[in-house]
Amino acid sequence: MNFSVLISGGAGYIGSATVKYFLDKGASVVVIDNLVTGHIEAIDKRAIFYEGDFSDKNLIELIIKRHNINSAMHFSAFALVGESVENPAKYYENNVAKTIIFLETLAKNNVKYFIFSSTAATFGIPDRMPIDETFERKPINPYGRSKLMVEEILKDFANAYDFHYGILRYFNACGALDDIGEDHNPETHIIPNIIKTALDENKVFKIFGNDYPTKDGTCVRDYIHIKDLASAHYLTLEYIMKNNKSEDFNLGNGKGFSNLEILHAAEKVIGQKINYEFTNRRPGDPPVLIASSKKINNLLGWKPEFDSIEKIIESAYKWHKKYPEGYKK
């Protein structure tokens, strides 16, 4: 299939992995990113890059016409839960208002196929596991609400225009490729923070809460490698373009690991003990979040290549050893 895809946020963690995956599959890829949180070093050199904002109508129109864009993917969201609570205006402006402008520009310029990077945060705190696509969405913070708003907007666009979408809800993206890894500021994800602690003997890793109703008292999460996320994007875009249909999928490994289990798996991979201590719970952290990916498996044949947590951690560890200061090594 002929993909000529515009990827917003292609300098970010998941976006850059998806850029590389599509290029490896022979697609034409154009990246737009304002580099506020992304890294130009993460963008595959084979991609065409524009520095700018995805809500810049004139720039988006120029890109679409110049490069015969037939599809788009959207990774340009702010994604820190705590920050969204403290500064909801920032999240609703970028994640909702600007996304409406982006979608409108795409639809007006005959770009009919769109993949949206959504989140498990749209589900809030479910009362059972694993989470499938039929679960009620009850987000508990502005970040999750901003993503759910766009999901609903996409349905309205599909009803009103010749427009088809794929919604992909991630649980915990993790791992690394040879030259693509996590370099966030601040870093809030567990695996890179554990690895950074292992690489600096003066650091102590903090586990938020040890009194949850789980097997060892720490939160349980579902982890998925960025390459597996990228392959799901490819299969989903292929499906909606072939069938002129819209679909939504949850993406995870279907297996849960507690914070302590992640820490001990990292110790096994790295070959050393890691200093850690328990601290207070973070507000709004559900005890358990595990995805059901049966729908995308049954419909598109998607299965995670990285099906062991040790393989995921090993890939991240190799990247952090190579880039101990992040992309500014």
CATH number at residue 204: 3.90.25.10
80 and 60, same domain (yes or no)? yes
217 and 155, same domain (yes or no)? no
Question: Phi then psi for 117, rounded to 5 degrees?
Answer: -80, 100
For residue 118, count other CB atoms closer than 10 A to its CB. Answer: 25
Q: Which helix (H) or strand (E) holds 231?
A: helix 226-243
Query: 117 pLDDT exceeds 90?
Result: yes
Half-sphere exposure of 28 (CA within 13 A, CB side): 12
The yes-or-no answer on residue 143 being catalytic is: yes
- pLDDT above 90 coverage of the chain, percent: 88
Closest CA to 182 of 14, 18, 306, 314: 14
Q: What pLDDT, in 10s, does the model give residues 142-200? A: 999 999 999 999 999 999 999 999 999 998 999 999 999 999 888 889 999 999 999 98
* Whole-angstrom distance, CA of residue 235 vs CA of residue 256: 24
CATH number at residue 132: 3.40.50.720
Range of the domain at 264: 174-221+254-327
CA-to-CA separations, 108 to 3, 52, 61, 308, 322, in angstroms, rounded: 19, 20, 9, 44, 44
Closest CA to 269 of 324, 313, 217: 313
Question: Residue 329 — very low, low, confident or very high, per pLDDT cuts 50/70/90?
Answer: low
Q: How many residues in total does the chain contain?
A: 329
Q: Whole-structure pTM over 0.85, yes or no?
A: yes
From 13, 21, 50, 143, active-site residue: 143
Q: What pLDDT, in 10s, does the model give residues 210-238? A: 999 999 999 999 999 999 999 999 999 99
Total domains, the chain = 2
* Whole-angstrom distance, CA of residue 247 vs CA of residue 115: 10
Query: 209 pLDDT exceeds 70?
Result: yes
Partner residues linked to 51 by β-bridges: 33
Q: What pLDDT, in 10s, does the model give residues 32-48? A: 999 999 999 999 999 99
183 and 228, same domain (yes or no)? no
